[in-house]
Amino acid sequence: MNLKNKIVLVTGAAKGIGLATVKRLLKKEAKVILWDFQPDDLNTAVQSLKNEGHDVFSQVCDVTNKEQVYDNAEVIKKEIGDIDILINNAGTVYTGYMLDRSDAELENMINVNFTSMIYTIRAFMPAMLEKNKGHIVNISSASALIGAPKLAIYAATKWAVMGLTESLRMEAIKMGKKGVKFSSVHPNFLKKGLFEGAKLNLLGSIFAPGVKSHDAVAKVIVNKAIRWGFHSPKVPWIMNQSVLLRALLPSSLLIKFGNIYGVNNMMDEYTGYKDGR
């Protein structure tokens, strides 16, 4: 897909994977809309992009607030037009054993990581279906490929994202709307930022290495998912082994195999965003 002049909306766009993706899209001459719930972070990101000569449109948006999502979507339709590509990137994590976290924390993680996608997709997919053209990219995780201690609800949300994406793809095909594409992107844990401190053992770091930078994920989003149309790209690509192992091994052996990689202890030295921000 040629991205020149394509209208692209990125959620969680003020930093991390979102901002890295925005920068790559701008290099491809796309028209980018940034959504983020933190006004200060969003203003900083937008000003930095404008200083680099880019013209972007931005809106403060808490994607868990469906009224705000739908209101913002109406503004976009009136002032800019129908979007061509929706990138659902907004996400958060609360780590630790599930029973040690509050209901409010777990509900917020579900709402940010999964429920919000229902709102954004319902806001923008109808126009894509009408034109039989568009692409929805949902950011999932390697946690959707294999579970891990201290990430139970996080993993559940990312499995949900994968199932949502696959089912919507099948629905579009059934409706005769093959021009509307869907991708879920599955990065392994990032070494800096949201998952800083998470690590596997020596064997795991060889066969399931962490992702070095946000831009490494952004590159896969823009190139493999959007431009080349991959349904479910993994970052790094070697994470596809998880799919193969799940297909070949019974669950009991899969768990043991994961522990050989150090999955059982990967979150024990986590130092990232413990409060979900």
Half-sphere exposure (Cβ direction) of 34: Cα atoms closer than 13 Å: 32
CA atoms within 13 A on the CB side of 97: 2
d(CA 41, CA 62): 13
What tokens appear for 116 in the block?
Answer: 């919000």
Catalytic residue of the set 154, 261, 270, 273: 154
Distance CA 3, CA 85 (A): 10
Give the pairing type, strands 57-60 and 31-36: parallel
68-72, 93-97, 100-104, 197-201: segment of lowest average pLDDT: 197-201
Long-range own/partner contacts, residues 244-251 (CB < 8 A, 24 or more apart): 246/145, 246/146
In tens, the pLDDT along 224-262 reads 999 999 999 999 998 898 899 889 999 899 888 888 888
Per the prediction, the chain carries an average pLDDT of 94
Q: Which letter does DSSP use for residue 210 in this model? A: P
Question: Is 270 known to be catalytic?
Answer: no
| Domain chopping of the chain, boundaries | 7-265
pLDDT at 246: 87
How confident is the model over 93-148, as pLDDT tens digits?
Answer: 999 999 999 999 999 999 999 999 999 999 999 999 999 999 999 999 999 998 88
Strands 234-235 and 57-60, how do they pair? unpaired
Contact between 154 and 203 (Cβ < 8 Å): no
**pLDDT reported for residue 273:** 61
Residues 6+ apart with CB under 8 A from 58: 13, 33, 34, 35, 36, 42, 45, 46
Nearest to residue 254, comparing CAs of 160, 156, 145, 98?
Answer: 145
Q: What are the tens digits of pLDDT across the range 20-29?
A: 999 999 999 9
Q: Does domain 7-265 have CATH number 3.30.56.10?
A: no
Beta strands (DSSP E) in 85-167 are 85-88, 134-139
